[in-house]
Amino acid sequence: MSDTTYSETNHKTLSLRLALAIIFGVTLWRVVMLAFNKTDLFVDEAQYWFWGQNLDFGYYSKPPVIAWVVRFFNAISGSDSTFWIRVSAPLFHLVTALMLMRTTRRLIDGEAGEEIEPWVGVIFVTLPAASLSAVLMSTDTIQILFVTIAIWAFLGLTKRSSITDALILGVSLGIAFLTKYSVLFLLPGVGVAMLTLRSARIAWRDVFIAAIAGAIVVAPNLWWNFAHDAATVRHTESIAHWNGEGKGGGLVKHLLGALGFLGAQFGVVGPVIFYGMLWAAWRTIRGQSDDREKLLVWLSIPVIALITLQALFAKAYANWAVTAYSAGTILAVWLLYRLTKKGLAVSLIIGSVVAFLLPILTVFAYDIKLPNGDLIMKRYVGRSGVSLEIADIAAQANTSTIVADNRDILADLFYTLKGKPYHIYARNSGGFPKSYYEQNFSLPPAVTDDVLYIDDEPFDCIAGKSELIKSWSPDFGNMKGRTLYAYHLSPSCLAPKA
């Protein structure tokens, strides 16, 4: 059914004013509840905060934008509390929802665009992934905004040549790259769209302007990688298992990995929206979609397909496909609005429930439990308690130097013990560093006094004196069920392995 025919026979079901009220209301709810959030910083969040204290053009596991954002909000607030580390997340989602609405109008003209625009905004801001990443600070939250801006500029360039839009396209893609390298998964689909759809082609002048602008933006990070032994690239290669450390286990395990990633996408954006995207892809295959719908398919589905292949042969995390869900949200909403409004209503209900409940879970993080007795928010609590316990042990051992090998422990030690008279270091294991902390904050050879060493497994020292002071198992939180060991030992015990 055409958009024109549909508009003539249906009335608007969601006004722009109501959509904006929902979007701003959801954002306000998230910001207010962040003030009462009882969870500790997750390991990645604590690491991003620490990066922000050491500004650079690149870091061990990620490009630099998230560190800059966290530092900016800490600077304008004068605080590095968990609230100010996280508050930019719901604000980014707010701006992304509004930007997606404008992108929808740029793609879909007339009354159809006016009707679909409000739905795109409210559906996006209530996506399960948006609700989760609004209570935690993540790179995905920043990246999807700049991907959306890039698509908005690209759509403008398909209609008319513009130096301004070309610059916006290049700079926004560059910033998306500086947030997370996964934006590269978007480019193959863009290339195919430009080759196969006349309406998706832009002037060569604009291509060159965008390319030059993007290159200028990403150049400092590329240089940083060159000067730091390609640290971020090597880390990405390692976690993706591109270095040959695959899953093993045969065909079944590989297939389960791919199906697991694909299945997880129904949770990332909700079952209705992901189904809508797949439905749109099937319509394109069958020749039932117009050029606008095909363009949205090429800007979303190839990302999911490529990362599914990655999951098939090596490893992929569910959030790696985030770049697909800018165009993907518009695609699914547009299709569902034309063919089944009930689907949109169901999606909004599901998303709204998640958007309401997730912040509540963070406020009652120490109270709400699963049937097995574990806290629902187990992964996000107990971290600061472990750090404070370690600080007490260090005081009892009369040492101010704390060394650890576990990234989770190190990340929280640096955050929780900030401003306290402790010197915190990572153990240098030799070879390519295992973390940012080992890369930049390894125990220096100049330290000769005894240190407190924390490990999550028994430790034997053959190069100096070592005394086990305490072993304990936290009774709740992310370390529950694991035994931690605190040793008072000489630094020679921690010399890099040959």
Listed residues 363, 397, 412: the one ending a domain:
363
Q: What is the pLDDT of residue 449?
A: 92
What is the rounded distance in angstroms from the CA atom of residue 74 to the CA atom of residue 68? 10
In-domain check, residue 172: yes
Is the pLDDT at 231 greater than 90? The verdict is no
What is the average pLDDT across 75-91?
Answer: 97
389 Cβ neighbours under 8 A, 6+ residues apart: 472, 474
Count of CB atoms within 10 A of residue 65's CB? 20
Q: What angle do CA 337, 338, 343 make, to 5 degrees?
A: 45
Q: Is 149 found in the same domain as 46?
A: yes
Listed residues 363, 393, 418: the one ending a domain:
363
Q: Is 412 found in the same domain as 339?
A: no
Residue 330 vs residue 113, higher pLDDT: 330
Name the 3-class secondary structure at 173. Answer: helix
Backbone phi, then psi, for 382, in 5-degree steps? 90, -10
Q: What is the pLDDT of residue 10?
A: 46
Backbone phi, then psi, for 455, in 5-degree steps? -140, 160
Q: Is 351 found in the same domain as 391?
A: no
CA 461 to chain CA centroid, Å, is 39
What is the rounded distance in angstroms from the CA atom of residue 254 to the CA atom of residue 310? 10
215 Cβ neighbours under 8 A, 6+ residues apart: 170, 174
pLDDT band with cut points at 50, 70 and 90 for residue 245: low
Burial of 226 (0-12, 13-18, 19+ CB in 10 A): exposed
DSSP for residue 320: G
Domains: count for the chain? 2
Q: Is 392 found in the same domain as 352?
A: no
What is the average pLDDT across 31-58?
Answer: 96
Residue 463 vs residue 348, higher pLDDT: 348
Range(s) of the domain holding residue 107: 3-363
In-domain check, residue 162: yes
pLDDT band with cut points at 50, 70 and 90 for residue 127: very high
What is the rounded distance in angstroms from the CA atom of residue 222 to the CA atom of residue 215? 10
Q: Cα–Cα distances in Å, from 383 out to 311, 368, 474?
A: 30, 18, 10
Q: What is the pLDDT of residue 9?
A: 38
Q: Is 464 found in the same domain as 334?
A: no
Question: Tens of pLDDT along 64-74?
Answer: 999 999 999 99
In-domain check, residue 376: no
Q: Is 23 found in the same domain as 119?
A: yes
Lowest mean pLDDT among 39-53, 298-312, 463-477: 463-477
Q: Is 330 found in the same domain as 219?
A: yes
Residue 451 corresponds to which tokens in the numbers above?
């240190």
What is the rounded distance in angstroms from the CA atom of residue 230 to the CA atom of residue 200? 35
In-domain check, residue 370: no
Is the pLDDT at 32 greater than 90? The verdict is yes
Q: Which residue has the tokens 């992310």?
A: 478
In-domain check, residue 148: yes
Question: Tens of pLDDT along 284-322?
Answer: 999 999 999 999 999 999 999 999 998 888 788 888 999
Q: What is the pLDDT of residue 146?
A: 98
In-domain check, residue 253: yes
Residue 9 vs residue 135, higher pLDDT: 135
303: enclosing H helix or E strand: helix 301-313
What is the average pLDDT across 426-432?
Answer: 88
Question: Percent of the chain beyond pLDDT 90?
Answer: 80
Q: Is 180 found in the same domain as 282?
A: yes
In-domain check, residue 351: yes
Is the pLDDT at 44 greater than 80? The verdict is yes
Count of CB atoms within 10 A of residue 282's CB? 12
Q: Is 428 found in the same domain as 351?
A: no
Would you say 386 and 479 are in contact if contact means Cβ atoms under 8 Å apart?
A: yes
Is the pLDDT at 6 greater than 70? The verdict is no
Q: Is 261 found in the same domain as 296?
A: yes
Q: Is 400 found in the same domain as 270?
A: no
Is the pLDDT at 377 greater than 70? The verdict is yes
Q: What is the pLDDT of residue 249?
A: 59
Q: Is 118 found in the same domain as 40?
A: yes
What is the average pLDDT across 454-481?
Answer: 90
What is the rounded distance in angstroms from the CA atom of residue 192 to the CA atom of residue 456? 49
What is the rounded distance in angstroms from the CA atom of residue 350 to the CA atom of residue 174? 34
Mean pLDDT of the chain: 92
What is the average pLDDT across 392-418?
Answer: 95
pTM: 0.92
In-domain check, residue 454: yes
